[in-house]
Amino acid sequence: MFNQSSFTTTTVTNQRNCVKVDDDVDLRKAGPLGCGYITGSGTVFNTLKPRPGQTIAVFGTGAVGLAAMMAGRISGCTRVIAVDIVPSRLELAKELGATAAINSKEEDPVEKIKELTDGYDVDYTVDTTGLPAVMKQGIDSLAQGGNEAAIAVTPHNIEFSTWNDLCTSDRKVVGINMGDAIPQIDVPRLLKFNKLGMFDYEKTERFYDFEDISTADGDSVSGKTIKPVLIIDKDYKPEK
């Protein structure tokens, strides 16, 4: 995965690549914070930086999308809209703070977002799918002066009219790498929000024994599990 031998049982790394966390943090739960969660939350906290009272819609409710959604709620967005095609994920999104959830298999998200915002659309959209049609829906859901964050790793291209889709409404599309995050800052921040009950990312995780890696992969692909976590050291216990 990413050509970095993610599933090795031993990793040699540089001190600069490590993040110090409190001794009582469960490393099994905290490990995934270093990728998808800081990508989604960092996109909102570090780049979009919504002000209290603004609005955001997140397309795709995997780990990255749910992290962006929770960051929008923490930032004070009054409308936090989740868009997906998996009902169970949309239910979890509402549990984690979405003010509305849209199943884009059943209704047009662009029209529904307009309805939910009384015709104003949203200030920000975050696309975590990498699908051209969905990315275009994100642009079409933006209010005047709105911003779309495109953060999915994808080989696909998107076509849009710079004049009709962007210039006339002063809309912007920005690509963001890893949430513009500095892990030594962003990971402790997420752990702090977690302790305050504001970033409940554990609800997206499920533990698997290392020998069940194929099951974990299948559950991830099918959408059954949002964030599979492989447990290599079964004897590990977090400090009290």
> Which tens digit of pLDDT belongs to each residue from 216-235?
999 998 888 999 999 988 88
Single pTM value for the model: 0.92
Q: Cβ neighbours of residue 200 under 8 Å, at least 6 residues apart? A: 70, 96, 194
**What are the pLDDT digits (tens) for 125-154?**
999 999 999 999 999 999 999 999 999 988
Domains of the chain: 36-180 (3.40.50.720), 201-240 (no CATH)
pLDDT tens across 56-90, in order? 999 999 999 999 999 999 999 999 999 999 999 99
